Amino acid sequence: MELRKNYFADVRKDDLHEIGQPRPRSDSPGHVTGKTAYFADRNFPGMLHLKMVRSPHHHARIRSIDTSEAEKHPGVVKVLTAKDVPHNVYTILILIQVGPEDETVLADGKVRWKGEAVVAVLAETERAAQEAAAKVKVDYEVLPAVFDMEEALKPGAPLVNEYHGQNYYLYDSGECRKVRFGDVEAGFAEADHVLEQSYQSSPIEHAPTETTGCVVVPEGNDRFTCYTNTQAMFFTLDNTSIILQMPGSKLHFVGGTVGGGFGGKVDVIVEPIAILGAKLTGRPVCFIYSREEEMQISSPRAAEKVIIKDGVMKDGRIIARKVTGYTDAGAYSRHSPYGAQKGAGHYPGPYTIPNVWIDTYCVYTNRTPSSAMRGFGVTIGDFALEVQMDKLARLIGMDPLEFRFINAYRDGDMKAHRQPTEGAALIECMQEASRVANWPVAEKYMAMSSYKNGA
Amino acid sequence: MTKVPVQFTLNGSEKAEFIDSGTTLLNALRDKIGDTSPKGGCHQGTCGACSVIIDGELRLSCLTLAETCNGATITTTSGLAEGGVLHPLQRAFLDTFATQCGFCTPGMIMAAKVLLDHTPNPSREDVVEALSGNICRCTGYEPIIQAVLSAARANSQNAA
């Protein structure tokens, strides 16, 4: 690997001992010998299998639940419904005061997405649990559902989540996160060209090779050991403590080995109910998503819609940018209010624009709840922004890379959300990209620097 | 449920168990015998994480009934290292950073071993074809392909 020395030479010591050097991964010897212990590699005598009865409807009221036939099924040890969960309504980010609690561990009176957990069945074998789950009778009254974010925001749309009271997350800034910088309308009036485009994405499933799950063992000292592949150990421990109304000192979480996560294992979704099952039966419990559940039930990346309106001058300067972003949380918040907020902070991208207006909405629909995935809140936004940049360059007949040099943020530039730019290396990254990709740009751009006094 | 006896050789050791009829080889290996190196990623024969070698052939243990393996010779990734010395494929996976989360790794190594047993000097296309039944979500496959090619080169140098 080549470490070029011409960038930022004044602040570089070049005494790097690790960067640029191959070093063995500490976990690889376990991986190649099959000795790495994933949560499902723990097997305990008398372990019960947990299977979930799930909603077949996108939106429905639950009139009644009859578990009597399931309870009689051979091998069934326990059947759990909402009334068994000590604190059934929760939300993950309550730990950092981002409420309200808006999601049920087991559905209580209503389901808001197709696949929502309604009844948990614990049995001696996976097969018995599956068969018994099929015998649970739930009487539903199907309600109108909404799947499109802009439809959900219209007056008269079905109300997805009563804990919010409207189909968007109410920030302290109001119905959306807002950034206001300069005068965007004056910018559009002054611009040589104005281009408004909209960009949309579908939900994306992480599809880890190891599905979500946990194995719980009740210990002799009244504690519970939970082997889990969560990516969010302490979020999970603390939320489990709240849901089960159990001191955290009773919960011993063992994790750190994850068979692929990509953000898909940050929800608190299998551990609380499996620990409750272990508590109420006194037996070890495993709750492991099937591949179908991993694909259909686990949170995907949110669907997003991004509308970008730009005012650009013939010389290449973007002088106004207005962005409206919609993040589809699905039926529950999970991490999406944070994702939508990140979007607001991330626009208008790594460019210095004097007039900016940003609104980002976190919207509730009757779709599968979305959550974290690799750069959620900004990845789709970056796709939209960079496609928009290419379109703008084409509009004014400019090379797309040179167009980005003109607009790139540099140290000292004020960003739209009032943070001065520091340590920007975008100019240098693009210079190196230009060189490596053999995409030449004019010499004046190769002479630029992120230090504004440099060039 | 009816119990059936099964007996086979696993990584050089004789194993005998009574299992429920219909138990997959994957579950028998993991839950009864305690070899957790084959992984259950899909339990429907599409991800390759459960791959093992039965009588020299690559097999998906999640689609193989344990009771059909009577008298078979079975190899799993946990049995590849001899006397604490890594198999050349294991060494190559380490050296080329072909593991990330590691969940697909035992299955990948099984598929690669069957390839090299039959085709000691594979082309890149041979490697891609041989690994095509194994899903990796972390690496993008390239380091794994390089690991297999590098193990093949190491083998042929040792043979020369």
Residues of A in contact with B140 (CB under 8 A): none
Residues A191 and A135 placed together within one structural domain of the fold: no
For testing contact with chain A, the best of B36, B78, B139 (most A CBs within 10 A): B36
Domain boundary among A278, A296, A314: A296
**A5 assigned to some structural domain:** no
Note whether A322 and A220 are within 8 A (CB): no
Residues of B in contact with A209 (CB under 8 A): 39, 41, 47, 49, 101, 103-104, 135-137
Contact call for A34 and B94, based on CB within 8 A: no
Which residue of chain B comes nearest to A207, CA vs CA?
A: B137
Chain centre distance of CA B50: 7
Geometric angle at alpha carbon A329, from A327 and A331, rounded to 5°: 150
Q: How far off is chain B from A207, nearest CA to CA, in Å? A: 7
Residue B157 CB burial class (10 angstroms; 0-12, 13-18, ≥19): exposed
B85 lies within 8 A of chain A by CB: no
Lowest mean pLDDT among A63-67, A79-83, A392-396, B83-87: B83-87
DSSP result, B68-128: GGTT-EEE-GGG--BTTBPPHHHHHHHHTT--SS-SSHHHHHHHHHHHHHH-SS--HHHHH
Dihedral-angle region of residue B57 (phi above 0 means left; psi in -120 to 50 means alpha; beta otherwise): beta
- The residue type at A248: G
Q: Which of A22, A32, A43 sits opposite B105 (nearest CB)?
A: A32
pLDDT in tens, B47-96: 999 999 999 999 999 999 999 999 999 999 999 998 889 999 999 999 99
pLDDT at A455 over 50: no
3-state DSSP assignment of residue A43: coil
Question: At A385, which CATH number?
Answer: 3.30.365.10
3-state DSSP assignment of residue A439: coil
Q: How far off is chain B from A85, nearest CA to CA, in Å? A: 30
**A155 assigned to some structural domain:** no
Domain boundary among A246, A261, A296: A296
pLDDT at B160 over 70: no
Residues A127 and A237 placed together within one structural domain of the fold: yes
pLDDT at A288 over 50: yes
pLDDT in tens, A314-358: 999 999 999 999 999 999 999 999 999 999 999 999 999 999 999
Contact call for B93 and A31, based on CB within 8 A: yes
Task: Give me the half-sphere count of Cα atoms (radius 13 Å) on the Cβ side of residue B34.
Answer: 4
Averaged pLDDT score across all residues of chain A: 96
Nearest in space to A41 (alpha carbons), one of B80, B111, B29, B61 = B29
Inter-axis angle of helices A400-407 and A379-395, nearest 10: 110
User: So what's the pLDDT on residue A454?
Assistant: 53
Which residue of chain A comes nearest to B44, CA vs CA?
A: A291
Contact call for B101 and A210, based on CB within 8 A: yes
Residues paired with A112 in a beta bridge = none
The two tokens of residue A265 are 């294992």
> Whole-angstrom Cα distance, residue A399 to residue A316?
10
| Number of structural domains found in chain A | 2
For chains A and B, count residue pairs whose Cβ atoms are closer than 8 Å.
99
Residues A336 and A438 placed together within one structural domain of the fold: yes
Contact call for A291 and B86, based on CB within 8 A: no
B78 lies within 8 A of chain A by CB: yes
3-state DSSP assignment of residue B148: helix
**A248 assigned to some structural domain:** yes
**A377 assigned to some structural domain:** yes
Q: Which domains does chain B have, with CATH numbers?
A: 3-79 (3.10.20.30), 88-159 (1.10.150.120)
**A404 assigned to some structural domain:** yes
Residue A186, CA distances (Å) to A190, A191, A243 in order: 6, 9, 51
CB-based contacts of A22, cutoff 8 Å, min separation 6: B97
Domain boundary among A296, A327, A358: A296
Residues A200 and A275 placed together within one structural domain of the fold: no
Q: Which long-range contacts (CB under 8 A, 24 or more apart) does A296-299 make?
A: A296/A115, A296/A368, A297/A54, A297/A115, A297/A368, A298/A205, A298/A206, A298/A211, A298/A212, A298/A264, A298/A267, A298/A269, A299/A264, A299/A267, A299/A330, A299/A334, A299/A368, A299/A369, A299/A370, A299/A371, A299/A372
pLDDT in tens, B9-47: 999 999 999 999 999 999 999 999 999 999 999 999 999
Residues of A in contact with B135 (CB under 8 A): 209
Q: How confident is the model at residue A13 (pLDDT cuts 50, 70, 90)?
A: confident
Residues A220 and A197 placed together within one structural domain of the fold: no
User: So what's the pLDDT on residue A354?
Assistant: 98
pLDDT at A447 over 80: yes
Report chain B's C-alpha Rg in angstroms: 16
Residues of A in contact with B47 (CB under 8 A): 209, 291
A374 lies within 8 A of chain B by CB: no
Contact call for B135 and A30, based on CB within 8 A: no
Note whether A25 and B97 are within 8 A (CB): yes
The two tokens of residue A229 are 């592949």
Residues A426 and A354 placed together within one structural domain of the fold: yes
> Whole-angstrom Cα distance, residue A208 to residue B136?
9
pLDDT at A249 over 80: yes
Question: At A273, which CATH number?
Answer: 3.90.1170.50
User: So what's the pLDDT on residue A12?
Assistant: 79
The two tokens of residue A95 are 């730990």
Which residue of chain A comes nearest to B103, CA vs CA?
A: A259
Residue listed under structure tokens 């991800």: B47
Residues of B in contact with A30 (CB under 8 A): 102
- DSSP designation for A11: G
Q: Which of B36, B81, B104 sits opposite A209 (nearest CB)?
A: B104
Q: Which of B34, B90, B138 sits opposite A33 (nearest CB)?
A: B90
The two tokens of residue A191 are 């611009």
Residues A292 and A304 placed together within one structural domain of the fold: no
> Whole-angstrom Cα distance, residue A207 to residue B46?
13
Residues A192 and A308 placed together within one structural domain of the fold: yes
Reported ipTM: 0.97
**A152 assigned to some structural domain:** no
Q: How much is the average pLDDT of A365-382? A: 96
Residues A131 and A226 placed together within one structural domain of the fold: yes
Residues A385 and A238 placed together within one structural domain of the fold: no
Residues A241 and A390 placed together within one structural domain of the fold: no
**A452 assigned to some structural domain:** no
Q: Which domain holds residue A313?
A: 177-204+300-446
Residues of B in contact with A204 (CB under 8 A): none
**A246 assigned to some structural domain:** yes
Residues A356 and A375 placed together within one structural domain of the fold: yes
The two tokens of residue A278 are 């272990």
